Structure 1
Amino acid sequence: MVMWRWCTVLVHLCLLHDFSDALQSFVREPSDQYVREGQTVVLPCQVSEPVGQVQWTRDEFGLGVIRDLPSYPRYQMIGDDHEGIYSLEVQRATLEDDAVFQCQVGSAAGQQGIRSRDARLTILVPPEPPRVIQGDRVTTAAGLEVRLQCESRGGRPPAEIEWYRGDGAILENGTSTESALMADGKRSVVRSTLVLTAAPAHHDTTVTCRAHNAALTRPQTAAVRLQVTFPPEVSVSADRARAAEFDDVTLHCRATANPGQVRYRWFVNGEPLPGQTDSSTTLRAVGRHLDNASVLCQVTNAAGTGSDATQINVLYAPRFRAEPRDVAADVGQEATLLCDVDANPAPEVSWVRRECDACPEPVGTGRRLTLVASADTVGLYECRTSGEHHPAVDAGHCAVVEEVVVGGIRSLLVIPDAREEDFGLYNCSVTNTYGTDSALVILEKQRELPLLVILTIAIGGIIVITTIILVIIMCQRHRRRAKDVPTETPEVITDWT
């Protein structure tokens, strides 16, 4: 009997010893998680050697120890008692579930209760579609500051807002964002402001506000279309880069404006062209006086006026502003000959000394020729000009004769012994205080007829003339013969009876 009691005591002590060594502890604890609103999430909890009752708390409020958690229809503790699994399943998560959860095991049989680490469950809520507070259309004027505000409500976490141009480029400058919690203390209202200076390039373009947060699979957008009024932006071009003298030049004026109802005016060197109100104009027979002239197109609409100008490049043949004059100098002194030629493009000027028509001697280039007077330098010098787009002009070989006539002056250009280089285009320009006028004269080389053609024409002419002479002679002879034939007098018989 005594032996049995000792054995019982020993067994009981062993049981107490084994139980005291096996303390309840966590094998797996929950951790922070994020879940989209409406989804299901499981917070894990596994306990080794549980002795006390297991329960979950939400924001330090106990949910109950029964696995079904009847007070919370969307909650239940799932798992197996033998494996010590008491994970919390949250179905169809709502913003109410956005809280701090903890798995707890109560104290029992001399063991203290244990608590897991805190696990924050964050419910991701998509925001409402964003909206531009100013509406879907904003009208402004070029140069004015425009403030666009985009609002996104109800997102958790707060929505991030970005601005984009119509071509997809992000707008970063001039943006600012502010955020505030809503009444539930969890969701947010975010407002982003974009400040820009309206420009013509913004007209009829869209600016897009794009909002997104972790609860969205794709961003949400709202767009605003800008209507910008601006004065005309003008560009003028000519139908040719360079025009020959007396050619027509057509200029085109392209204008971009809002509103699009515009009026055109044209100016040449600041002087208006009367009656020119179209988007293009033609300058007839441009003269050398219009070389480098500024042609301006002025366009006006209700928002203002814009203009642009271009210069005309007129090509014209050389003309002597003043004929080269004879120069006399003492022996040993310098003498300067001047060749004052005007042309576009600028001509090449060269000088030759002419001892005879067939033996010109080059002596220099440039508008001025400076010589030291001596027996070797005395003689006849010619100034020659040539260059791109115009023929050569030979001063000294040609002569200008002017005479006063009734109502004006007659100017004659005399070219004795015309040479091959003399043929070409000549310009006669007249200028007085009231303006300038000019005319072109083409000196063409007479074509020489081939000898056979000349002989044919000569022989043909001789034959024609001989034929005419023969016809005349024959006609004369015929008339003379007609006069020499006697006239027959009819016989008159008189009856005397």
Structure 2
Amino acid sequence: MTGSDQEGDYTLSIFPVHLEDDALFQCQVGAAKGIAPIRSRYATLIVTVPPDPPIILNGEKLHVLEGKIVTLECVSKGGKPAAEITWLDNDNVPIRAGVESIVEDLPDGKRKNTISMLRKQMERSDNHRNITCEAQNIAESVPKRTSIELFVEYPPYVTLHYQPYNLKEGENATFKCSADANPAQVSYRWLINNREVENEHSRTLILSNLNKTMHGSVLKCVVQNRIGRSEETHTISIVYPPVWILRPRDMSAESGEAATLSCLADSYPPPSYSWYRNDDFTTVISRSMNLTVITNENTQGRYTCKVSPPGSSPIQSSAFIMLKGPPHVSGSKVVEVGLDESTDLLCMARGVPVPQNIIWTRQGHLLSNGIRYNIQTSTKEDALHSVLIIKDVKPSDFGVYNCTASNLYGVDYSTVTLQLREDTSLLIPLAAGISGGVFLTLFFLLLGLHYKRAKEKPFKETMSDPDTEWKTDQFPQDKHLLQVQEEEMPLNQPYDPSTSLHPAQSPYTDKFRTIHRSSAALADKFRTMNLNVQDPHYSAVYGNPYLRSSTAIDSGFYHDYSTAGGLSGNNGRNSIGGYTPPLPSGGSGPSNDYSYGDYVGGGGGTMRPAANLVSTEYVIRQDMLGSSLATHV
């Protein structure tokens, strides 16, 4: 205590201050004679004590597994007032979450211990990081600290890389597996679709000659250390061009029905679809895999599905939507062949539905497989194909062949003409010889004419009398004349037995005088004339023995055919020529009013022979209607 009575100053100095000095102090003045004692107010002396350096009870290093929750404890003792503890991470950023503090009084009742607990789940990122505990109270201006280093052990963390970025079919690919692990001693395994790749234990895997069968396969890299195992997977995506899975197919339907075309292709990246009609690729009519069309005459046709994958060339395929109807028959028109050679007559029938059979006929007779005939039928590209093979062609094979097909909706036919191929090997030298001969002949004629004119005397021209009447042969020139033996014979005269070929009564006696002398030759000409019926449903053959002898011609029968111009039906339908002979009663025939050869069919269902005919044949076929009728009289 310092001061004096004279100064009236009594100061209490405490040095050094001890904890025990933390108390209440009062200044008292004792009583004196005539003066009562006095006391001052209490003065409080607060003694602060800095805390001891903090201690982390877990030690300086902590080895812990990833994911485990640990509690770090930091204690600061003897502080007065109690120390405040702060946790700092590796970047000296205060940690607030998971912190709890406890203050304990020491036995002296003045100092205190502070205990702080940090509860934390260990992460891979905490490995090799420091956690700091910092303690401070008002007795110190600089806090005290201590740290602990974390060693977090964890299984491998795997990442998978590959190159090139776009894997294409036929190329090689390199895959690299990177692993972050503690401890760092790891092993590698590779699996494709859960099947281990043999002898591959490095971090790199090379796949050679990629193909689309590997597209979508799952590649897996497995890395393991003593803590655990980790893996990384990758779905292999290989860029490859489109391949058809489902092409559009031809469809047929009746009018008003719906027809659906579908197309599907496999590619990577997945393709887009577009539909076009009748090769008009400027107008897209649909962009889906399926196309539905209401069938009619305007919508039938060719439809094309175009598949366009990104990065690859597009592909396309077409199909037809067809309206059901009768068939269409086509094929060879004219076939030339030499004698004793073989030839093929082609016929094709298209239709919806496709015809089931093709029938070959000739002159009304159904053709079938035999020694020289062979018919081969097959279906190709939704059409029925038929080939009639004729071996060792004979003169009798030449003519018209009928090819007929039918389906539920109708019938169609086509004809093929088989004819002899002309041999032109001698035409060139023959033409050269003829040309040379003609040239020489003209040369000598001109030379002779010139010589003749040189020898003739000049003559006086005489003008004709203008009143003189010039006459010519009045023989009628008709375009419908048959030339026989250099004689002309009218074909448009009606038949009259009383005047036929009679020199005294015929106005053309001089012109027809040689007919009797050439009757045999004329009969030979008519014997080779055949009736050719083009209607595929009917055909007829006929023969008249009286046309094959001179007797028949001389007796007047031949004149009946040469002047009649043919025969016709009683009602004028399906007639051949323009003449209808008288019809005696008797006989029978078809009632369809068709007439062929020597017969005239009546509309009433009778068939009568032509006048003056002694013996005739009649055959009619109705192939396509499935029935036939043959009559012989």
TM-score range, shorter chain: 0.5 to 0.7
Contact map agreement 1:143 1:197 (CA 8 A) in 2: yes
Q: Could you say which residue in structure 2 is the equivalent of 1:436?
A: none
* Distance change (3 Å), C-alpha of 1:202 and 1:367: same
Contact map agreement 2:270 2:309 (CA 8 A) in 1: yes
Residue 67 of structure 2: SS of its match in structure 1?
A: coil
Displacement of 1:366 in angstroms is 1.9
Gap regions ≥5 residues in structure 2: 320-633
Q: Tell me the C-alpha RMSD between the 2 structures.
A: 2.5
What letter corresponds to residue 342 of structure 1 in structure 2?
Answer: D
Residue 277 of structure 1: SS of its match in structure 2?
A: coil
* Distance change (3 Å), C-alpha of 1:158 and 1:364: closer
Aligned partner (choices 382, 405, 408) of residue 304 of structure 2: 382
Q: Percent identity?
A: 33
1:247 maps to 2:171:
yes
TM alignment of 1:46-85, pairs within 5 A: 76-78=1-3, 81=5, 84-85=8-9
Aligned partner (choices 128, 133, 150) of residue 74 of structure 2: 150
Aligned partner (choices 345, 354, 362) of residue 269 of structure 2: 345
* Distance change (3 Å), C-alpha of 1:359 and 1:276: closer
1:371 maps to 2:274:
no
Residue 201 of structure 1: SS of its match in structure 2?
A: helix
What letter corresponds to residue 288 of structure 1 in structure 2?
Answer: K
Aligned partner (choices 156, 162, 167) of residue 238 of structure 1: 162
Residue 90 of structure 1: SS of its match in structure 2?
A: coil
**Greater share of strand residues, 1 or 2?**
1
1:395 maps to 2:322:
no
How many Å separate the matches in 2 of 1:360 and 1:90?
A: 109
* Distance change (3 Å), C-alpha of 1:234 and 1:110: farther
How many Å separate the matches in 2 of 1:359 and 1:93?
A: 105
Q: Could you say which residue in structure 2 is the equivalent of 1:59?
A: none
Displacement of 1:82 in angstroms is 5.2
What letter corresponds to residue 304 of structure 2 in structure 1?
Answer: E
Q: Could you say which residue in structure 1 is the equivalent of 2:238?
A: 314
Residue 20 of structure 2: SS of its match in structure 1?
A: helix
Residue 390 of structure 1: SS of its match in structure 2?
A: coil
Displacement of 1:378 in angstroms is 2.2
Q: Could you say which residue in structure 2 is the equivalent of 1:451?
A: none
Contact map agreement 1:353 1:360 (CA 8 A) in 2: no
Displacement of 1:321 in angstroms is 0.8
Q: Could you say which residue in structure 2 is the equivalent of 1:260?
A: 184
Displacement of 1:192 in angstroms is 2.1
Residue 85 of structure 1: SS of its match in structure 2?
A: coil
How many Å separate the matches in 2 of 1:311 and 1:119?
A: 82
* Distance change (3 Å), C-alpha of 1:125 and 1:359: closer
How many Å separate the matches in 2 of 1:237 and 1:392?
A: 31
* Distance change (3 Å), C-alpha of 1:89 and 1:359: closer
How many Å separate the matches in 1 of 2:170 and 2:8?
A: 107
* Distance change (3 Å), C-alpha of 1:342 and 1:115: same
Residue 213 of structure 2: SS of its match in structure 1?
A: helix
Contact map agreement 1:242 1:312 (CA 8 A) in 2: no
How many Å separate the matches in 2 of 1:362 and 1:316?
A: 25
What letter corresponds to residue 265 of structure 2 in structure 1?
Answer: V
Q: Could you report, residue by residue, the CA deviation over 1:119-174 in whole angstroms, capped at 9, with x for unpaired residues? A: 22122222222222222112222233323222222222221112121122222333
How many Å separate the matches in 1 of 2:33 and 2:172?
A: 115
Contact map agreement 1:354 1:360 (CA 8 A) in 2: no
Q: Could you report, residue by residue, the CA deviation over 1:245-294 in whole angstroms, capped at 9, with x for unpaired residues? A: 33333333222211111112222333322222222323333333333433
1:101 maps to 2:30:
no
Contact map agreement 1:231 1:306 (CA 8 A) in 2: yes
How many Å separate the matches in 2 of 1:273 and 1:81?
A: 105
1:329 maps to 2:253:
yes
Contact map agreement 1:132 1:224 (CA 8 A) in 2: yes
* Distance change (3 Å), C-alpha of 1:351 and 1:359: closer
How many Å separate the matches in 2 of 1:176 and 1:228?
A: 23
What letter corresponds to residue 85 of structure 1 in structure 2?
Answer: D
Displacement of 1:300 in angstroms is 0.9
Displacement of 1:350 in angstroms is 1.5
* Distance change (3 Å), C-alpha of 1:244 and 1:82: farther
Displacement of 1:241 in angstroms is 4.6
Contact map agreement 2:242 2:309 (CA 8 A) in 1: no
Q: Which protein, 1 or 2, shows the higher relative CO under an 8 Å CA cutoff with sep ≥ 6?
A: 1
Displacement of 1:221 in angstroms is 0.8
If the length of structure 2 is used for normalisation, what is the TM-score?
Answer: 0.47
Gap regions ≥5 residues in structure 1: 1-75, 398-497
What letter corresponds to residue 319 of structure 1 in structure 2?
Answer: V
Residue 180 of structure 1: SS of its match in structure 2?
A: strand
Number of equivalenced pairs? 319
Aligned partner (choices 172, 186, 204) of residue 128 of structure 2: 204
Q: Give the number of the structure whose alpha-carbon radius of gyration is greater.
A: 2
How many Å separate the matches in 1 of 2:281 and 2:315?
A: 18
Contact map agreement 1:237 1:310 (CA 8 A) in 2: no
Contact map agreement 2:267 2:309 (CA 8 A) in 1: no
